[in-house]
Amino acid sequence: MTTTSLKLPEALKQRATQAAQQMGISPHAFMVSAIEQAATATEQRARFIGDAQHARREMIETAKGFDADDVHAYLRAKVSGENATKPKARSWHA
């Protein structure tokens, strides 16, 4: 494990220390966890954007997409534990 020096404004350091105490962990563990959560969120966002861009390119290339009402109904059924048939892609060009 490497050591990194982190300069924090005093008010932020106090907030982190108080939050760590409330969680029953050390300020160091709190800061490591906060950085890990931020890194994970950034990675997830990048994957989400990449997936969305890929889906957009595929939709433009194939001229097919999914009706939002069909997708919403499918998701509602899945969340409710019902058997659901996946929506079918349809042509969206006139």
pLDDT tens for each residue of 1-43: 899 999 999 999 999 999 999 999 999 999 999 999 999 999 9
Report the pLDDT value the prediction gives residue 93, as an integer from 0 to 100: 75
pLDDT at residue 94 is higher than 90: no
Rounded to an integer, what distance in angstroms lies between the CA atom of residue 28 and that of residue 38? 15
Report the pLDDT value the prediction gives residue 92, as an integer from 0 to 100: 83
Rounded to an integer, what distance in angstroms lies between the CA atom of residue 46 and that of residue 66? 23
To 10 degrees, what angle do helices 27-62 and 10-23 make?
100
Q: Where are the domains of the chain?
A: 12-62, 63-94
Q: What is the DSSP letter of 4?
A: -
